Amino acid sequence: MSSHTSKSFIPPVARKLQTITLAHGSGGKAMHDLIEDVIVKSFDNPALALLEDQARFDLKDLVSLGDRLAFTTDSYVVDPLFFPGGDIGNLAVNGTINDLAVGGAVPLYLSCGFILEEGLPLETLRQITASMKKEADKSQVSIVTGDTKVVHRGAADKLFINTAGIGIIPKGINIAATRAEPGDMVLINGFIGDHGAAILEARGDLALRSSIKSDCQSLSSLVQAMLDVCPDIHCLRDATRGGIATVLNEFAQSSNVCIKLNEKDIPLRHEVRGMCEILGLDPLYLANEGKLLAIVPREYVERVMEAMRLLPEGQYSAVIGEVVVAPEKRVLLKTNFGGERIVDMMVGEQLPRIC
């Protein structure tokens, strides 16, 4: 996000611009003004303020926090940009923070790349960057570098965001999808499917009205609280696209085990259940943006659950299943009717553009 600080005269026409134009992506004065007036003002921090082409850090400061670097990236194309419980901005920040956190890392720095469509209101961009800053501050994370590109009207849907993040994994933490063992228990930190249901309702394509809000939130503090009482968490992942069914299948296949779930123990709001029944959707596959699945040794379950429930993002935590030997690489669900069914990986997609 390079530029040079300047107090040069801004022509009256430029001051009156209320929407993104192709000039904002030209590399010239309009782009300079956009970066200074919107991006830098929103994300202000010492690393970004230098306005170099890269953010720079002292390695000794990073090494003091742990012995491994975690690095992740994701892109966000949600429709609509604003939805009950969040927007594309806090979705991008929290999504990347969570991808670091579930690896056991302490999130530190984010980059941000904007793809802006010609005609996007500048006020919309300001609202989204303000939302991103708010969420980053909550998790003590800095947005330190980035980029903006402008495309012709119709070449994108208003705004796309790419974020990348780095964090440090403390010594002794070894979380991996290959570590699930028979006897382990499966934990979740709350209600499933809220994000997918909220996005569907927000689009207004269906004559549905509900109070469902996205669960978009940072899980960094929750993960750290869990690791404080159980440094030996075996598997941990946030359940976004594909829902909890996809994540648990990944664990079962990577660890060559079977995961058995109890439907009655899986937290699900009545509103989400009702929407799924009306539309023929399976809540196990609905997207989440603030839910994690943890596989922990049985002897740690009580301590981990207690730590989770002390935090707002974990107050509805539940034990929803266990890891067994066979059948290998399978997820099974004991239904509310007493039967049992296989929970496969999702084929195709239930909802488009949910994150």
CATH number of domain containing 286: 3.90.650.10
Residue 1 lies in a domain: no
Q: What is the mean pLDDT of the chain?
A: 92
Domain that holds residue 240: 185-342
Residue 260 lies in a domain: yes
Residue 174 lies in a domain: no
Residue 3 confidence (pLDDT) above 60:
no
Residue 140 lies in a domain: yes
Q: Which residue(s) pair with 146 in the sheet? A: 112
Domain end marker among 169, 196, 225: 169
Residues 312-339 have a mean pLDDT of 97
User: Is the domain of 152 the same as that of 280?
Assistant: no
Can you say whether the dihedral through the CA atoms of 288, 135, 105, 148 is positive or negative? positive
Cβ proximity of 153 and 212 under 8 Å: no
User: Is the domain of 335 the same as that of 227?
Assistant: yes
User: Is the domain of 273 the same as that of 127?
Assistant: no
**Closest C-alpha to 111, from 142, 76, 65, 77:** 142
Cβ proximity of 152 and 225 under 8 Å: no
Residue 11 confidence (pLDDT) above 50:
no
Give whole-number Cα distances, 45 to 51, 186, 324, in Å.
Answer: 11, 39, 48
What is the pLDDT at residue 203? Answer: 86
Q: Which residue(s) pair with 149 in the sheet? A: 115
What is the pLDDT at residue 1? Answer: 53
Q: Which residue(s) pair with 162 in the sheet? A: 75, 113
Residue 2 lies in a domain: no
The percentage of the chain sitting over the pLDDT mark of 70, rounded to a whole number, equals 94
pLDDT (tens digit, 9 = 90+) per residue, 92-119?
Answer: 999 999 999 999 999 999 999 999 999 9
Q: Which residue(s) pair with 166 in the sheet? A: 71, 109
Residue 283 lies in a domain: yes
User: Is the domain of 287 the same as that of 333?
Assistant: yes
Residue 268 confidence (pLDDT) above 60:
yes
Contacts of 127 (CB under 8 A, 6+ apart): 82, 87, 89
Domain end marker among 100, 135, 169: 169
Residues 8-20 have a mean pLDDT of 58
Per DSSP, helices labelled H in the chain are 12-15, 29-34, 41-43, 46-49, 59-63, 88-101, 122-138, 194-202, 220-229, 243-255, 270-279, 301-309
User: Is the domain of 66 the same as that of 212?
Assistant: no
User: Is the domain of 331 the same as that of 191?
Assistant: yes
User: Is the domain of 22 the same as that of 115?
Assistant: yes
Residue 350 lies in a domain: no
For 228, the token pair is 């404080």
Domain end marker among 134, 169, 204: 169
CATH number at residue 94: 3.30.1330.10
Range in 9-13, 178-182, 276-280, 323-327 the model is least confident about: 9-13
Residue 17 confidence (pLDDT) above 70:
yes
Residue 215 lies in a domain: yes
Question: Which carries the bigger pLDDT value, residue 44 or residue 206?
Answer: 44
User: Is the domain of 205 the same as that of 337?
Assistant: yes
User: Is the domain of 63 the same as that of 196?
Assistant: no
Task: Report how far residue 72's alpha carbon sits from residue 59's, in angstroms, rounded to the nearest whole number.
Answer: 19
User: Is the domain of 312 the same as that of 202?
Assistant: yes
Strand intervals (E) in the chain: 68-76, 82-83, 86-87, 106-117, 142-151, 159-169, 185-188, 235-238, 258-262, 292-296, 318-324, 330-334, 340-342
User: Is the domain of 127 the same as that of 194?
Assistant: no
Residues 233-247 have a mean pLDDT of 97
Residue 16 confidence (pLDDT) above 60:
no
How many domains does the chain contain in total? 2
Residues 332-342 have a mean pLDDT of 96
User: Is the domain of 218 the same as that of 311?
Assistant: yes
